Structure 1
Amino acid sequence: MRRPTGTTWRRAAVIAVSAVCVGYAPIAMTELWPYARPGAPAFGEWILGRVVSPRYVADALATRIEPYRHSLLPLIVHSVLGGLLMLLGPLQVLTAVRRRTRLHRVLGVVFAVTVYASMAGAALYLARTAPEEAFSGAAFWIVLATILVGTVLSVTFGVLSAVAGYPDLHQRWMLLCYGFLLTAPLLRFEWGGLPMIMPGLSMAEINRAATMHLGSVVAFGALIASRSLDRRRKISGMSRSWAPLPVLAVAHLAGAVALTWIVRSGLDFGAPGRRLLLAYLLPYAVTYAVMASCALRTGREGRPWAREEWRLHWTALCLAPVLSAAAAPLFELTLGLDRLTAVSAGAAIGCGALATTATLVVSLRVMYAREVLKRAAPARATAPRLSSPVS
């Protein structure tokens, strides 16, 4: 029996993600219709009510009527355009694979404009909604705001990379952007799946657990996709690593201290704290193990560019708890949050924010290497040629 090749796995992943996106599109587009017209069809509620229970859905959405009512139009714009983005994403991948460059560019412009318009609707909702009034509370509001910023930044950098002639960086940023957009359907999967594993939890409690890792999971998925598409062994102009062993060691030490603080803070709050810690630590450990093994393996295989990218993201992952630990007291002081909410909000945004930072550092690494080549070219052209020795 033949083992699946890398191409087979990539094709299967594209088909799976495309199926999720196409299936979620009508759910996203109709999700808020009942708030505008009671009794209107909402496919997501219908499916969730049968997967879990109608009472589970009714209890969760009963508290949403007032917060949604004063921002209903921006939310409808956000959700309908979000459904359109679910369809545009697979089309962009298909046109890129098929090398339909002109169609890819046209759809890319439509995609970028749609992202900005959809995120504008979400921004209006967040601006009009107090953090404590958001679904599942202030931590969820903070996570939504962070994902919004990450989505806008990634699509902006993706457009700028394409204009500047960096197709490899354009690909990375657009994959990260789409990863952030995929937090919406993945959250719905957790709404339906986690009650089977942890029965008795409300949707709000499941929401809080899901936000502890969704940002980091989709960012990690975008990295895996980027690395699977980039088969270059090295990049011309790249010399020393920007993440040498001393930097990695310092990042590990700082991350270990911050992670210990996060764990101790979570354990102070009994079962709720332990549940949130599990939702955070298990994906973090898996991501760490994959990044570490890939960085070491590509180094042994003599693939310096792959090793460099893995090490930059590995370093960022180690530093993510540092950002989380620093953000928690800031949220507690500025927003008046209780300690558990502040710690969970800080932990929820750390990995996604540092993954975005790592993608920015990777971009700067590629741009710096190209600049090194540009500066070296005139020097090579003007260098005197040695004459052949006379016999």
Structure 2
Amino acid sequence: MRRPTSGIWRRGAAIAVTAVCVAYAPIAMTELWPYASPGAPAFGEWVMSRTVSPRYVADALATRVGPYRHSLVPMIVHSVLGGLLMLLGPAQLLTAARRRTRVHRVLGVVFAVTVYASMTGAGLYLARTAPEDAFSGPAFWIVLTTLLVGTVLSVTFGIMGAVGGFPDLHQRWMLLCYGFLLTAPLLRLEWGGLPWLLPGLSMEEINHVAIMHLGSVVTFGALIASRTLDRRTKVDGVSGSWAPLPVLAAAHLAGAAALAWIVSSYLDFGPAGRRLLLGYLLPYAVTYAVMAVSARRAGRQGRGWAREEWRLHLTALCLAPVLSAGATPVFERTLGVDHPTALSAGVAVGCGVLATAATAVVSLRVMYARELRKRSTAAPAAAPTSRVSSPAS
């Protein structure tokens, strides 16, 4: 039985996300205007200058003139449409909650087309910009590229879920897609908030801390939203677990070994490494604790489907450091970056990539269950009927 406060919590979370999105929309839409027309209003710069300091903003944007101007049109398309997506997302959640099916479908088409168009603009910018010329360097370029791919994949799988008659999977993928989009306003909040916790850092250094956890935060938020909206205790055709205790134990051991290597590496980088490590470990620990407790609680309450989904995502979270450790030498060799940069890039993308993989496994779990139901239903109809021959006359 759900506690009465759960409904209040859901409404509060929805209101908070909507407020952030609506407030960020005009900031996103005007962010690139000064590069096209010097002196044009940019609400984001205005707010950040008063939240932190004008020098903080000026130093950050001084190196952006060249990289932005040679891809100005794609970037403006990306930012303006990104602002529109901030408004379409809450509208989609509202129409789904109110069961306005026709409006939801129309807005869904607009949302998907806008995502593709906006990500095309971002892709053109990234293709024209060398990793070392990106804002905050190669690690940030890798994170932006990963976010672009994740956003496009998630909206595509969301469309496939709707067309294929899997509304639950459609919901999961679209929430994940919007989670990736929310990295933009959340990063701006960190630009304004982290200087109070870490005074003296530049915006570039703030970016390095932020990417340590933004991917895990938004994908975890999408999972929380999915589990909150999915109240089923079981799914027909789902039995057993694709993440049994031996698999979960092996994932924990591999993850612990990789995490120990990551911690040791960052401790060798001095104060900056310890700062990045804290930015990674604290959200990771909170996410792990919530997933582990939720999976155990669901098991005790007999909610088998919730337990299975929590365990699949927990397994993926444990394996995220393994991916990060494995990606580090790949980034070093393919992009020619130093070890600290490659490690930060690997850590930054690990949780987001594995959360996307876990959502794909959950989708396969549901589709496999449907196939089992179809086969069990069709089996009796396909069974041969006995034929009784009449006696010879």
Range class of TM-score, shorter chain: over 0.9
> Could you report, residue by residue, the CA deviation over 1:42-97 in whole angstroms, capped at 9, with x for unpaired residues?
00000000000000000000010011110010000000000000000010011101
Measured in 2, the distance between the counterparts of 1:214 and 1:324 equals 15
Measured in 2, the distance between the counterparts of 1:255 and 1:168 equals 30
- 2:70 counterpart residue number: 70
> Could you report, residue by residue, the CA deviation over 1:344-386 in whole angstroms, capped at 9, with x for unpaired residues?
100000000000000000000000000000000022445699x
> Could you report, residue by residue, the CA deviation over 1:305-334 in whole angstroms, capped at 9, with x for unpaired residues?
000000000000000000000000110111
**Amino acid aligned to 1:20:** V
SS in 2 for 1:371: helix
Q: How does 1:1-391 map to 2 (within 5 A)?
A: 5-381=5-381
Tell me the TM-score normalised to structure 2 length. Answer: 0.96
Measured in 2, the distance between the counterparts of 1:100 and 1:232 equals 22
1:209 offset after TM fit, Å? 0.4
Measured in 2, the distance between the counterparts of 1:349 and 1:4 equals 37
**Amino acid aligned to 2:243:** A
Number of aligned positions between the proteins = 383
- 1:389 counterpart residue number: none
Measured in 1, the distance between the counterparts of 2:4 and 2:33 equals 43
**Amino acid aligned to 2:211:** T
Tell me the TM-score normalised to structure 1 length. Answer: 0.97
1:240 offset after TM fit, Å? 1.5
SS in 1 for 2:239: coil
Measured in 2, the distance between the counterparts of 1:384 and 1:294 equals 47
**Amino acid aligned to 1:337:** V
SS in 1 for 2:62: helix
**Amino acid aligned to 1:261:** W
Measured in 2, the distance between the counterparts of 1:375 and 1:124 equals 46
Measured in 2, the distance between the counterparts of 1:298 and 1:380 equals 34
Measured in 2, the distance between the counterparts of 1:230 and 1:100 equals 18
Identity among equivalent pairs (%): 79
1:211 offset after TM fit, Å? 0.5
**Amino acid aligned to 2:218:** V
1:261 offset after TM fit, Å? 0.8
Measured in 2, the distance between the counterparts of 1:349 and 1:58 equals 29
1:4 offset after TM fit, Å? 5.2
